[in-house]
Amino acid sequence: FLPYKIKTVSYIFKVLAQEIYSVPSSNMDENLKNFLKDLAAKNRLKYWSSYVMEGVRDTDSRPQDTSLDGAVDVTENPVHKLLLAWKNFLVVVSKMQVAELKLEDGVKEIIVVDLLEAIHAQFTGPLTELGHTLSKTCSALYFTLVTNWMSSLKSWSPIMNRCQDTLVLSMSSGDTMIPSIQIGLIGALLAFLQSVRTEPSKKMDMSRLREMLVSVCQMLIQSTRELPSIRDLQTARDTPEQSDRTFGSTDHRLKLQIVICCALDELIHLTESPEVWLPILQEHMVLAALLSSVEQYVNAQECVHYVQTVFTMLVTVAKHDKGAEALATAGLTHHVCLSVTRCYQNMDTNMYQRPTPSKKSKVSGSQSGSWMGVYCMGLELYSSLLERLRFAFLEDAFNFVGCHQDRIQQCLEMARFSLCPETFLEVERTCVFVGELATYSREWRLHLPETLNKILTGILCMNQTFISYLIRPRYLQLILEQQGVEKQLNGRALNRTPSLQHQTSTEDLDHPSRHHLQVQNSMLKILGASFVALRKFTPDLIQILVDQSMDVGEYEPFLGVGFSTPPADQDTPPTFGTMLSCVNIAIRLLAKLEPTKSPQRADQATSQASHSSIYQVISKSLVMFVMENALYLTMSQGMLYLKDAEVHQRDKQLLKRELGTELNSILSGIQRYLRRGGPHSPATGLPQTSPRSGQSPGGPSLSRSVSQTFMSSQEHAVFRLVQEFSKQVLR
């Protein structure tokens, strides 16, 4: 075709794209419908795909259009115009459902392969300015079509292999990366890898995975070397006349690095075995390079999305024993421990509202939230490494606690007043990390006793507050409404005291909002994680029941002897009543999670809708986990008091009487729930056997029907343990 004919065709494709996108199929002109049908039926798209591919491939052999000063005018090149129009047409067709233009899977594969071959051809020789522009457009279109047509690509494996070969060729064709082209190719490769992991029918050879790992690691190291410096980023942002050009370049380099890290993370998931991927990462020194670059960007508060991507990949590596060891060897603590303090240094410490940047901070609001996410991922990373490496990583974990102890205490205190998702996420990750570190409670008490006491006090006070909220749904709803109003009024501090009626009422809400349920779910997650940590600071229940010579002097009780519900208007230390209230909350939630079957209720449909809403937010397994751990802590702390020689006998008798009455009442409620078909116990860490009864109880006991209920299933071992505890210990 002559140049003017190519331009004519490009205008036609451009008009077609605009018509398909703008006009609904039902209102489309009949002539246009017939044209689209012919376009699909006569395989004309195959022809144009081949033509565009040949035009891009042979573009260097054709004379170039030049401007008045003699320079090559890429924008006026007819092949470039045709490629842009072809891109617009295919993007619209791939995203819009056009009944008159149904493309077969084979046609889609041909179009994708032609685009890839056009890109591949550009790297077989020197890459010209026009070739770079055409390849950039082809790469973006290739990525879009692969993601939209993935289910139609039956020959996905050869296409993916060719994509990898093209990437390797692009690396060898020059001394530097070409982000504008390679982003689309890596993105398409990532899409293929994700489809392999999510679709069981797709398989990949281990040898091919190794080859991809090597290629991706080589690209990652080269891309890391070419990451923009802190000065480049600041110059691009602060210099208006150079901002667009410079920032575009730095942005492309960062995007390429992010996509490569995502591809490496996906390959690690697919390979599974550290024996395969870890030697390749170590050979190319990937972990050390990433940690070094992350430290620089965190200290400068730049490129938060790249930092988050790297931390996500590091968490994946840390889930394997050998990967965790490699991370520790690569200097994780040296690069991360101190630097992540920058993630929260500029945050406002007002505990009555969500964290916001201070006036002196240059970080935007959205960025600040993301930086707090980086800190939370740092907590997750340290939790994983401590879980895997145990004593070998203990000193590093103590260093982390010592460095961030103020923030840990602050977030535990903040969670009592700021009921926002960001605060809940940070507190949950903090409690998980404290739970891992609590495994070494003796070493912790030896090295950082003051920090341990402060963190434990913070966790106990937070639990007291959460349970007082959960036992009073109307009070919690009022607090959420007030915080919502404050957010609209630019975050003014609380200046209204909830009414006494809301503070004392334990009545449930008939139709709690989804936000209310989400807050309850977050509180339950945090309670579960904190209970796991507290179990490390109380005697093992079976051991203290069986071992009469056990020394309980190393444990200090953290529950006070009291059985009233926790107050909502004052700070008091947690008591047995706090834990028992938590169990009652769980029983109430479990009853709500079961759909009502009573035909006497007139609002049956409304009740079913309410059940569906809570079931979508709060899981039964979470509620059961919290309830079982609360029971465990109650019994263990009770035994600690009963075995303490310094506790007066009169106080022990009071504890037996009150605790026995409360536990029997709870067991009756659990029995009523189990008769309705409650869930199995999710607590794998709880004892699976209970002490055998040697004689009839002399104190509070349950009826024979209750005993038969708990003995009917092996999954109810924890409830049988509570029953035997009530019979044998509290008699």
3-class secondary structure per residue, 76-115: HCHHHHHHHHHHHHHHHHHHCCCCCCCCCHHHHHHHHHHH
Kindly tell me the sign of the dihedral angle through the C-alpha atoms of 318, 323, 329, 331: negative
Q: What is the mean pLDDT of the chain?
A: 85
* The pLDDT value given to residue 692: 34
* The pLDDT value given to residue 511: 80
Confidence of residue 401 (pLDDT cuts 50, 70, 90): very high
* The pLDDT value given to residue 29: 86
* The pLDDT value given to residue 235: 83
Q: How far apart are CA 430 and CA 450, in angstroms?
A: 18
Across the range 588-607, mean pLDDT stands at 63
Query: Does the structure show a pLDDT above 60 at 171?
Result: yes
Across the range 146-174, mean pLDDT stands at 93
Query: Does the structure show a pLDDT above 70 at 189?
Result: yes
E strand spans, 350-458? none
Give the containing element (helix H, strand E) for 681: none
Confidence of residue 280 (pLDDT cuts 50, 70, 90): very high
Query: Does the structure show a pLDDT above 50 at 292?
Result: yes
What is the share, in percent, of the chain residues with pLDDT greater than 90? 61
Closest to 162 (Cα-Cα) out of 125, 114, 210, 204: 114
φ, ψ of residue 725 to 5 degrees: the values are -60, -40
Query: Does the structure show a pLDDT above 90 at 281?
Result: yes
Burial class (CB in 10 A: 0-12, 13-18, 19+), 370: middle
* The pLDDT value given to residue 358: 43
φ, ψ of residue 71 to 5 degrees: the values are -80, 155
What would the pLDDT profile of 695-720 be if each residue is shown by its tens digit? 333 344 444 455 555 555 556 788 88
Across the range 17-43, mean pLDDT stands at 87
pTM for the whole structure: 0.86
What would the pLDDT profile of 309-323 be if each residue is shown by its tens digit? 999 999 999 999 999
Indicate the Cα dihedral angle 701, 702, 704, 709, nearest 10°: -140
Confidence of residue 359 (pLDDT cuts 50, 70, 90): very low
Q: How far apart are CA 353 and CA 329, in angstroms?
A: 40
Q: Does residue 676 contact residue 594 with C-beta atoms inside 8 Å? A: yes
Confidence of residue 693 (pLDDT cuts 50, 70, 90): very low
Q: Does residue 154 contact residue 105 with C-beta atoms inside 8 Å? A: yes
Query: Does the structure show a pLDDT above 80 at 37?
Result: yes
Which two three-digit tokens encode residue 35? 């044209």
The answer to which of 233-247, 422-436, 543-557, 630-644 has the lowest mean pLDDT is: 233-247
Which two three-digit tokens encode residue 368? 């600040």
Query: Does the structure show a pLDDT above 60 at 685?
Result: no
Residue 561, helix vs strand vs coil: coil
Q: How far apart are CA 340 and CA 379, in angstroms?
A: 10
Which two three-digit tokens encode residue 11? 């205008």
Most confident range, picked from 436-440, 477-481, 565-569: 436-440
* The pLDDT value given to residue 587: 92
* The pLDDT value given to residue 494: 44
> Which residue(s) pair with 560 in the sheet?
575
Q: How far apart are CA 389 and CA 328, in angstroms?
A: 9
Indicate the Cα dihedral angle 19, 23, 26, 31, nearest 10°: -30
Query: Does the structure show a pLDDT above 70 at 682?
Result: no
Confidence of residue 60 (pLDDT cuts 50, 70, 90): low
Query: Does the structure show a pLDDT above 90 at 591?
Result: no
Q: Does residue 710 contact residue 719 with C-beta atoms inside 8 Å? A: yes
* The pLDDT value given to residue 505: 63
Query: Does the structure show a pLDDT above 80 at 267?
Result: yes
Q: Where are the chain's structural domains? A: 1-154, 448-471+506-598+608-689
Q: Going by C-beta distance under 8 Å and a sequence separation of 6 or more, which residues neighbour residue 524?
A: 470, 618, 622, 623, 626
Query: Does the structure show a pLDDT above 70 at 355?
Result: no
Most confident range, picked from 201-210, 568-577, 704-713, 717-726: 201-210
| Number of Cα atoms under 13 Å in the Cβ half of residue 160 | 25
Residue 246, helix vs strand vs coil: helix
Counting every residue, how long is the chain? 731
Kindly tell me the sign of the dihedral angle through the C-alpha atoms of 256, 260, 261, 266: positive
φ, ψ of residue 600 to 5 degrees: the values are -85, -15
* The pLDDT value given to residue 609: 52
What would the pLDDT profile of 474-502 be if each residue is shown by its tens digit? 999 999 998 876 565 554 444 445 555 55
* The pLDDT value given to residue 549: 84
Q: With b meaning 16 or more CB within 10 Å and e meaning fewer, what string describes 118-131?
A: bbbbbbeeebeebb
Residue 562: other Cβ atoms inside 10 A: 15
Query: Does the structure show a pLDDT above 70 at 595?
Result: no
Across the range 36-40, mean pLDDT stands at 87
pLDDT: which is higher, 675 or 152: 152
The answer to which of 201-210, 372-381, 683-692 has the lowest mean pLDDT is: 683-692
pLDDT: which is higher, 704 or 440: 440
Closest to 581 (Cα-Cα) out of 570, 599, 596, 568: 568
Cα-Cα end-to-end distance for the chain: 99
* The pLDDT value given to residue 253: 93
Q: How far apart are CA 293 and CA 313, in angstroms?
A: 14
